[in-house]
Amino acid sequence: MPPIKFVKSPSVPLEMHKVRIVQKLTLLPIDERVAVNREAGNNAHLLKNEHVFLDMLTDSGVNAMSDRQLAAMMAADDAYAGSASFYKLEKKLQEIFGMEYFVPAHQGRACEHLLCELYLKPGQFVPMNHHFTTARAHILKKEGIVEELLLEEGWKPQSDCAFKGNIDLHKLRAFISEKGRDAIAFVRMEAGTNLIGGQPVSLENIQDVAQICKENGLKYVFDASLLADNLYFMKTREEPCKNMSIPDITRRICDCFDIIYFSARKLTCSRGGGMCFRHESDYTKIRELTPLYEGFSTYGGISVREIEAMTIGLEESMDEDMISQGPIFIEEMTRLLTDKGVPMVTPAGGLGVHIDCSQFLPHVPPLQYPGAAVACALYLVAGIRGTERGTLSEDRDENGNEVTAKMELLRLALPRRVFTLSQIHYAVDRILWLHENRELIGGLQFTQEPSVLRFFFGKLEPIGDWQDKLVEKFKEDFGDSL
């Protein structure tokens, strides 16, 4: 939060921007919400956006863009090959990440695809702090094995550990000596660890892991999709970073890695993605694959307008006022909820607020998807959509058995610079009401279950008539309010 004091009232997070383009929202009456939710198979991904009041599904591709980004998009250079927009972005990445080589790709998962295609052999391991859904899906598709070596503290929803996204160095060393270097394709570190509550990794941990990779001749890969939030946490929570500028911290991070990839839908508030390389040999190999899957290497499947927006977005992600907005709103919303006893992931991380649904709904077992149940309930009573991050987001194993997640979370993403504090207060009000009425919420079961990334397209139904009872209670308590 910028150092601006309030004298007559308690401080609240203060935006260092003003809103100049707006989009109208509607909140459907509750009976219509019931109908569209049923049609969407109780899956927030299958709701139409026009039926959603506050879209907290994700921060991906829905962050607010700046006036500078929109202006730059108008001056993009359209060319199949050699676009000036590409060279501007390449130069900006060289300046900020300090890596010479860059290949654009249409989004983050496309980079994961190319990485696995090239560096992963069947049966090889990819040690990491924590998986992201698409990263794991690509690793499994190539018959690789994900090995999560997260600090134990990272698995605890409530903790006072400032960097719950860190890799446990002892586990990493033991793993390498047990399996041997050749069994490992590369080591993956994810900034702002998405699936465990947007929890950051420390600069120190990134550097220590780099040393271990170097000692063992292992390729070290960074998923920088959530770098902006992570930079804010390093700057505010990690002692040696407190006196460093954001570009300095960024450079220290990047100096550790062989390859950095990112989803620009997150990092630069635009669309697109890309990969930066320290070594020419890696760059040449990936560049050869790009025309096959993405497009020519100076557009990589991205519109040149978005490439212009990426360049400006990257530059803006070096501004502390800009990158603090997400985390300070998330912290405030988390505080408002924890103060009233709602179980939340703490410390508050990046990306969004995370409700700990195993504690919110202790009576709903993991195989009835408590995170998804709270997500549905919240849509019904508030028109807000979030994403389950728990057992539903896991796919079944190779024998068809369910894999229970270590945490059952509902993530309410706060796309950067999109929501106002009054909208946050509305969301808090409805979550508090749901928490008071949590006994009414029951579980869900699949009616259609895809085999891969089932949370995207799967359809579910409530077990029993709990949704009718919840809606009845809502009407009793809220009268004619939407």
Residues carrying an active site annotation: 80, 132-133, 223, 266, 389, 455
Residues present in the chain in total:
482
Q: Closest CB to ligand PLP among 107 and 297?
A: 107
Minimum Å distance from CB 65 to ligand PLP?
A: 16
Name the residues that contact ligand PLP, by CB under 6 A: 60, 107-109, 132, 134, 190, 194, 223, 225-226, 263, 265-266, 273
Q: Closest CB to ligand PLP among 304 and 336?
A: 304
Q: Closest CB to ligand PLP among 301 and 365?
A: 301
Minimum Å distance from CB 134 to ligand PLP?
A: 5
Q: Closest CB to ligand PLP among 110 and 348?
A: 110
**Pairing outcome for strands 387-389 and 409-413:** antiparallel
Q: Closest CB to ligand PLP among 108 and 390?
A: 108
Minimum Å distance from CB 405 to ligand PLP?
A: 16
CA distance 108 to 87: 20
CA distance 160 to 346: 7
**Pairing outcome for strands 54-55 and 384-385:** parallel
CA distance 420 to 14: 10
CA distance 365 to 392: 12
DSSP string, 30-73: HHHHHHHHHHTTT-GGGS-GGG-SEE-S-STT-SPPPHHHHHHH
Q: Closest CB to ligand PLP among 190 and 408?
A: 190
Nearest residue to ligand PLP by CB is 108
CA distance 269 to 292: 26
CA distance 265 to 160: 30
Closest by Cα among 374, 371, 335, 378 to 353: 335
CA distance 283 to 231: 26
CA distance 211 to 225: 23
CA distance 153 to 405: 16
Minimum Å distance from CB 248 to ligand PLP?
A: 23
Minimum Å distance from CB 93 to ligand PLP?
A: 16
